[in-house]
Structures are given as C-alpha cells and as structure tokens.
Structure 1
Amino acid sequence: MTTQSDDRSPNAPSHASGGRLRATFVGVAAVTCVAIAAGFLAFVSHLPGAETKPDRHADGIVVLTGGSSRVSDAMELLAAGYGKRLLISGVHPTSAAADISRSLQESQALFNCCVDLDHSAVNTRSNAAETRRWVHERGFTSLIVVTSNYHMPRAIVELSHALPDISLIPFAVVGDKWRDEPWWLSGGALRLLLSEYVKYLAAVARVRLAHLGIDLTFDIPEPPASSPSPRRPATAQVN
C-alpha cells in the first residue's frame, strides 16, 4: 500500500523563517520611511516664512554666504547697530574686499571700518570653525547668525557645537522664491530642502556622536558655487 507524502518537509521551517524575516524587513523599512517623511515635514514646518528682526543686540554678526541677499541683510543689521562688527564667512578665494564693497556702495564706509572677511571656510562646518576663531579673537560673547531660512537649522547645530559658550541669535533670510511659490510646487525648492534635510541629519548625528567622544569627520559634499558675481560676493561652497 502506498502512503501519501507528508506535506511537512524539512524545508518548511526555513521557508516560514524567511517569510517572517521578509515581513520584519518590510515593516522596519516602512516605519523608517514614515519617520523620515514625518521628520522632513517637521523640519520644513519650522522654517521661518518671513524675516523677523532680532529681539536683542549682540556683540557681533556673522553671515554665512551662499544665498541671495544674505550679505546685504547682514549689512543692514550692522548699520542698525545690532552688532559691533560683521564677519562675512565663506568668501570666494578670488573675491577681494574691493569686489564686495563695490556691491555695497551705500554701506561702503561701514564696510571699510567694521567688516571682516573669511576666505577659508568651504562649508558650514568650516564656517563654524572660522567663526569660533573670530569670536574668540574679538572677545565676543553673543552673535547674530545670518543665513537662509532653510540653512539656519544646520548652521545653528554647527555653530552651537563650535561655540557652546556663545549666545546665538538667528536671523533667517527668506528669499523671494520662498515667498512667491509654495515649496511643494517647485521641483527645485523640493530638491534643495531634501538635500538640506539630509545634511542637517548628518550634522546632528556627527555632533551627538562627538558629545559621546566619537569623532567623525565626514561631511556631505556641498556643490561648488558659480563664478564670482560683480553684484554679490561668491562663496567657496554653497550653503
């Protein structure tokens, strides 16, 4: 008499185990995607949509170049007495002081007396390092930080890490494109924000690891700026 083969083969447990593993992987991937998406939306929702003057004055002002109108806004703050001196950090190596001052004709006297240029910084992390050197040389204890609204979170992370004993007052510059069109309707704006969010997460991770004594020196490359414009100081790297 023939017997029916047993459906429970030796491979059945391994198939079941593989199925559970795949389900776990898919579940973890789904949760990770949702967390990243939620984090991105939270990141964007906290970006200022309008420029607001600082609520107090500071010893100095630093502007991290790379976006339109950052330098002119920083000069306006300096002219209004919000700080004693201004550091323009990330000036392109080929841009001289005369090149920049020509683009700021209405503030040329102020530029000549109270503005310092940093040609060394090539990204946000080195902006923070050069700002630390400048602040300590000047003996400042408070600083107004000027940069674009989308770049401000990462700038504050880097500057807070480099200058834990300095009071930082953000002044976020809001570009015309940001005001004119919702970011979710602009492919360019969406790509910029996604890129900045990734860089922000990388900066937060590196700084937190540094607090634990783990020094990671990685930096996500930032694309080089275009050639210097006669109307705007260029940077070595776009922030």
Structure 2
Amino acid sequence: MKRQWSRRKRITLWTLGMLLVLLALAVWRAGYFLAVAPNAAASQAIIVLSGEEGRLAKGLEIYQQYGAHALIISNANDHYIQEELRLAVLPPSGVYLETQARSTKENAAYIRELMDQHGLSSAIVVTSDFHMRRARYLFEQTFEDGSVRLTYSSYESPQFNAAKWWSSKTSLMITGNEYIKLGGNWLGIDGKEAKRLLKRLNKAVF
C-alpha cells in the first residue's frame, strides 16, 4: 500500500510540475500569441486600422509595395490618424475614409460594407503587432463567408515588446488590455460599456 501511494504521489507531483511548466511557458509566450505573424499577399485594397500613430505610414508602405489600388482608413476621425493624415501624401484616388467605427468589431463591420459597395474582393489589414490576434479574430468573423480574401501586415509598435511584454509599464498594460479585450470579444462584449469597464480596470491595476 505504501509503495502504491508513493507511486501515485510521484505521478501527481509530476503532473502538477508539468502543468506549472506549461503555465509558465504560456505566460512567457503571451506577447508572441498576440503578435500573429504577418502573411500579407498582393491585394486590391489596404485597410489601415486606427489606434496608434505609425499605422498609416505602414499602410502606405504596404500600399506601394503590393501595388494596391484602394486605401481604406478605418475610424479616420481618430486623433492618431488625423495627425498622420495631415502630413501624409495619399494616393490621388481610391482613398476611402471610414468615420463611424468606435471599436475593432465596428471597424470590421463598416469595412465589410465599404468593400461590398466598391466591389473589392481582397485586402491586407494593417494594424499594430499587439493588436493582430484580436483584429484577425474579429475580421475573420465578419468576413466568414469567404467572399473577401484577407491577409495581414503589422506595424511594430515601439510601445510593445512581444519577447518581454512585462519589460515596461506600457507594454505590460497593452498586453493586459489586449487579453481583456480578446476575452470580452470572445464573450460577445463590445462597445462603450466595455471601454468604460476597461478604463476602470486600468485605473485600479496600473
């Protein structure tokens, strides 16, 4: 009996140890999980999501690189995008400014309407590296019928470190916020109430 209990105990301890190792690995890789590897391919349109200065410049770079003929800027009233728009040299035609979206989920919904309206069937979505996982999740939900081919390209945010997401307060907060938002989106939570809740959590934690 003693030998049998000892064997069970060893198995239990080994199992707990493995779970702790897996948990530590998941925490360590948390930043990489958010920053999905880009897979951009030649497309008719480039979609730039608002939210951080630098995304529009990246979008214009991708626009030139892949020879797209449409540039869609979502939530073009966002103050980050407004400053970049003031300084940017935009293509002479085929620029569409979407101004109604107030969340990533709404970005996808309004862009879907705009692409259908203009007969666009392929696009590269450009956003910050830390935003890639959630953006891809929500866009692929919205475009789940497969009528539009989406690929993705990321702007490497200077505020976020995927390898050491805990290395600064800003990077830590970005990572925490993205996981909270991702969990909320999986649960169908979106909109103003979700943003208010997130602000309260940030104030309490950070």
Q: How does 1:21-100 map to 2 (within 5 A)?
A: 41-48=28-35, 54=40, 56-92=41-77
Identify the match of residue 126 of structure 2 among 118, 128, 146. Answer: 146
Identify the match of residue 102 of structure 1 among 86, 99, 103. Answer: 86
**Alignment-derived partner of residue 5 in structure 2:** none
**1:163 aligned to 2:163?**
no
Q: Distance in 1 between matches of 2:27 and 2:170?
A: 16
1:42-61, Cα deviation, whole Å (9 max, x unpaired): 44223449x9672x201211
**Alignment-derived partner of residue 196 in structure 1:** 178
- Under a length normalisation based on structure 2, what TM-score does the superposition of the two structures give? 0.70
**Partner secondary structure for residue 195 of structure 2:** coil
Identify the match of residue 130 of structure 1 among 110, 130, 133. Answer: 110
Unaligned runs of 5+ residues in structure 2 are 1-20, 200-206
Q: Distance in 2 between matches of 1:182 and 1:95?
A: 25
Structure showing greater radius of gyration is 1
For these two proteins, the number of residue pairs brought into alignment is 176
CA shift, 1:194, in A, is 0.5
CA shift, 1:79, in A, is 2.1
**Alignment-derived partner of residue 165 in structure 2:** 183
CA RMSD across the alignment: 3.5
1:23-50, Cα deviation, whole Å (9 max, x unpaired): xxxxxxxxxxx9998765544223449x
- Under a length normalisation based on structure 1, what TM-score does the superposition of the two structures give? 0.62
Unaligned runs of 5+ residues in structure 1 are 1-33, 207-215, 225-239
**Alignment-derived partner of residue 195 in structure 2:** 221
| Letter aligned with residue 194 of structure 2 | I
Query: Do the aligned residues in 2 keep the contact of 1:157 with 1:204 (CA within 8 Å)?
Result: no
Q: Cα–Cα, structure 1 residues 53 and 77, in superposed 2: closer, same or farther, change >3 Å?
A: farther
1:81-127, Cα deviation, whole Å (9 max, x unpaired): 34220110012178998x754311xx34x1x3121101111111110
Q: Cα–Cα, structure 1 residues 203 and 140, in superposed 2: closer, same or farther, change >3 Å?
A: same
